Chain A
Amino acid sequence: MFRVESALRRCFLPAAILLVSSLWWADGLAAQNVLSRALQERVQENPHTTEADVEAGARVFRRSCSLCHGADGTGGDGPDLTRGVFRHGSSDAALFRNILTGIPNTGMGGIYQPDKSIWQVVSYVRSLSRGGGEEEVRGDPRRGRMLYRTRGSCSDCHRLNGSGGRLGPDLSDLGWRRAPDHISASITDPSVAMDADYRTVEVRTDEGNVVRGLLRNEDRFSIQLLDEFENLRSFEKTDLAAIDKPEESLMPPLASFFRGRDLDDLVAYLYSLRPE
């Protein structure tokens, strides 16, 4: 059996490769318009990262990207790029690819510039989320860490370096993305600056069961969510009596739990969280 298989492989594999590659070439005539040399040669790291590159990237950004992402990258019809969160890939290579070719099934088309300009845009986009900076904070991060784990039960819903819940944003590099004021406001009143990925939805089935969670997707006929127990759920709308999308975050406001020194300490801890 093994022998037959390997014999088959000997015969068919080269033929298959030939066939695939010749077919690829037919498509490749189109692909050459889409895939740049950098992709073909698999450049993984950004070779253009100087301050001058960032400035050059900013110019290309204003020319080719600002229509949807806003002149300062804070978003428009397209998402805010200043948060350091890139849903379709965060590596240099992923950013390069997405800027060059666009992202299927989104409004994002590619831009048509030489590879160097695209790398410069990657540098500029990265500079937007270098964020957090090194602001002075009052609190004690070590005590904040203790509060995070105990009184806050924060890890029930938030993830830190691979452990914790999934109902809130991953906080592993929060200090890199967010200023202390923003972190503080998000604790005391989480609904104010809610991320579009964390919209709350509540559905009631015909049997009267209520399921709350994060809205994942919706069309005319069905709705998908991550429920409060972190189950991925999908409902046909014909089976639902009601769908509610409250403007409130799933996270309760914690102003009464954390104030004064406690709040300062928790903010100091969260602000200290940076990528490794």
Chain B
Amino acid sequence: MGAAALMTMSDDAKAATEWAEHFQGNYRLMTPEEKAEARTRLERRYSAEYGKKVTVDGTEAQPGVLMGYALNVRKCIGCRRCVKACVEENNQSRGKNPGERIEWIQVLRMERGEFATDKMNHGYPEGLGIQVGGNAYTPAGQVLEGQYRYEPEAVPEKDATYMPIACMQCEKPPCVKVCPVRTTYREADGPVVIDYNWCIGCRMCMSACPYWARRINLTNPVLPKEEMNPVTHYLGNRPRMRGVVEKCHWCLQRTRKGRYPACVEVCPVGARKFGNLLDPESEVSLILARKNVFRLKAELNTFPKFFYFYD
């Protein structure tokens, strides 16, 4: 009886808050009062929906902070613990069907075999003198869909190297430029975020992203109540809805509170480093100063704040 009453109450709360959500404005342009109101509304809806106390944080960017990320490609063993930790921390959809399964981090597995000796000497003209070109017919890093979700017996595999990628939090993000409603934007402390309630689902940002960092919620996210992470941020890991785009935001719910992103915390080999680019003594700044560092697809002038390095 009590449970039934609670159920109906929560349904009412859900309906009322969803109705109000339809009319709220763009989060960035709201007054502090409106922001607080929007968050309380969401807290009420999420708490009813997931049957536990859910908090929606709104901590703003701190002055003097510019978040930066560095990843040691030499150290990564391809265990994909970061992928799993990210999904659990950030309330991604985790259903059985392909369209219900969202992972923000991809660990690209590259076979060393691409550069094997038997593939090397194929550039010399053959037959009619047509140049065929080395190992050009098996371009490195090109795979069939789903092959990035490799499930090896043990890692690291002998004949593979790994290259984890996620949102690069570009300084000149192409996704922000193309958004027709400015629902995605760069926060003052660096990360590019999305107001999930303002997104119209046009997917221009997904076309514009050179790193395939963005995912569309093709259906209502599959997020079991017991697995839902109740500590959320409005621009971060709060549960999304059908038809909107989502991506990595460097765990705003954690990093704005002085914690590391989930992927950094879980990495067993310490390949992932995170810190303040404006602080010359931070780990990330020291890596930029002392290591061999590169950015992915630097030729596109997106200026990622996600750096790769090797010892």
Q: Are A and B associated in one complex? A: no
